């Protein structure tokens, strides 16, 4: 009887050893770390945010601003190099040059920044030297301003000061904050707050500015 049981015990022991080896192998395969490539491909690829921009290197070299009304863009240049493009909002009547007070148009032509206001009701603002000489000449011709007003505008422009803002040509045209998602101003150029902050820090009084249709 002992001779019969002994082979059976030996066979059972061999089976348990084999089962243990299989179980251990399975556990190791589950616990072993995956290759790095497999971990990376299991995650979504990181896509760079198109809005990410490194800080401007200040001061800019001969900064200048170009506003393109039709494209709703403000371009900031350092010399001949374009360093920023901002989306903008315009006046409630965005097409055409500004002619008179209350027409809600954003003026067109060549100007300069004549003041910086860090306590603006619209976050921050940069004053645009409207009316320029062309607006003054047209206003005088059309009877909107008097000769003394015309002379005062030209004197201010020659001195790179702010021209009179209270004639029938209108005034108080600024680059300012409070949002650029629509044309909502009375003739100003509106940007998002973080973008007017960057622009405000990059330009100074006297910076040339051109507004194109």
Among the ranges given (21-25, 52-56, 91-95), the one the predictor scored with the smallest mean pLDDT: 21-25
Helix or strand run (H / E) with residue 140: helix 133-141
Helices and strands, number each (H, E), in the chain: 5, 8
pLDDT value at 103 more than 60: yes
Distance CA 167, CA 179 (A): 28
Strand partners for 190: 89, 176
The 10s digit of each residue's pLDDT in 144-179 is 999 999 999 999 999 999 999 999 999 999 999 999
pLDDT value at 207 more than 60: yes
Q: What percent of the chain has pLDDT over 90?
A: 75
Q: Where are the domains of the chain?
A: 2-34, 63-212
pLDDT of residue 11: 52
Q: How confident is the model at residue 32 (pLDDT cuts 50, 70, 90)?
A: very low
pLDDT of residue 134: 98
Cβ neighbour number for residue 44 with a 10 Å cutoff: 5
CATH class of 63-212: mainly beta
């Amino acid at each position: 009887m002992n001779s019969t049981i002994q082979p059976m015990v030996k066979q059972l022991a061999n089976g348990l050893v084999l089962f243990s080896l299989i179980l251990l192998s399975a556990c190791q395969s589950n616990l072993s770390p995956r290759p790095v490539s497999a971990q990376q491909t299991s995650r979504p690829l990181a896509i760079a945010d198109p809005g990410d921009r490194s800080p401007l290197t200040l001061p800019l070299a001969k900064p200048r601003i170009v506003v393109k009304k039709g494209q709703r863009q403000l371009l900031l240049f350092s010399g001949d190099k374009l360093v920023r493009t901002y989306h903008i909002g315009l006046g409630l009547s965005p097409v055409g040059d500004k002619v008179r007070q209350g027409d809600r148009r954003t003026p067109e032509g060549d100007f300069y920044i004549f003041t910086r206001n860090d306590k603006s009701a619209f976050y921050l603002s940069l004053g645009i030297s409207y009316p320029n000489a062309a607006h003054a000449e047209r206003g005088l011709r059309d009877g909107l301003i008097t000769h003394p007003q015309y002379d005062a505008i030209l004197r201010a422009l020659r001195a790179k000061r702010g021209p009179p803002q209270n004639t029938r040509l209108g005034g108080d045209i600024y680059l300012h904050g409070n949002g650029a998602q629509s044309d909502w101003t009375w003739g100003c150029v509106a940007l998002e707050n973080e973008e007017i902050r960057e622009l405000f820090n990059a330009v100074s009084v006297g910076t040339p500015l051109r507004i194109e249709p």
